[in-house]
Amino acid sequence: MNEKDTPDGAGALPQAEPAKAGSARRGRPWAGLATALCIGLALGYAGTHYGLDDNVQRLADLKKQYETVLAQHLYDLNSAMMRADALQGQLAVEESTRKSLEATLQATQQDLGRARDQLAFYNQLLPAGPNGSISIRALDIEQRGPTLYYKVLLMRNAPGDETFNGLMEFVANGSEKGKTVKISLHPALAENASLDGGAANTAKLVLSFDQFQRGEGVLSIPPGFIPKAVTLNILEGETVRASRTVNLAAAH
């Protein structure tokens, strides 16, 4: 190795430095690009992370809203079903009541029809007579101790809806102190009346009816008087409209 070679060799070594510098300068843009890429990725991740958090929150809020609406609809549905059940039960009760009333009405109509048929039958057996006439259809008089117990059934062939207003008069034929006498009988006082079971009764002699009148009561017998027969007169004012006499059996 000569001295020329040494400077040349020494000179050659410095010439390599510019090549390194150029290589370093050429690598710096890639480093910047990598740095920028890392920063972009970081920003993108952060943006994506925060964006996902917002979406999750919105979904959670919507879920709560839907749950609230669903709970309200379920409550309304349950309330409607309870009302429907209550109405169904009420309808069943009303249906049962309606059927019971219909059965009662049908039975009443049947009873009324039978009563009308019986009335028509009795009217054929016992003609009521001309319009407005009064008839004594039944009269039963029985002596019970110092009283006379009577039952009477009156009928009137009423023209229209006119009401008959009158009075019952009881007249007894009998004997008193060996003499034949005729006296009017009056209702027994409550404390003196004696019926089955000891029940007291006061005769009602006033009449007011349209077609039928049933009556019963107790008449007092004056002391010492022995009744043989009793006549019932139906009076309208001073006029006798109907009369019937019953012979009494001997008192025991």
Q: How confident is the model at residue 39 (pLDDT cuts 50, 70, 90)?
A: low
**Is the model more confident about 236 or about 17?**
236
Beta bridge partners of 227: 174
pLDDT band at 173, cuts 50/70/90? Answer: very high
> For 98-130, what is each residue's pLDDT tens digit?
888 888 888 888 888 887 777 666 666 555 566
Tally of helices (H runs) and strands (E runs) in the chain: 1, 8
Which residues 6+ apart lie within 8 Å of 187 measured at CB?
Answer: 202, 203, 204, 205, 217, 218, 219, 220
pTM of the model: 0.47
Query: How many whole angstroms separate alpha carbon 235 and alpha carbon 116?
Result: 29
Contacts for 226 with CB less than 8 Å, ≥ 6 apart: 174, 175, 176
pLDDT of residue 247: 94
pLDDT at 143: 92
Look at residue 69 in the predicted model and tell me its pLDDT. Answer: 84
Average pLDDT, the chain: 76
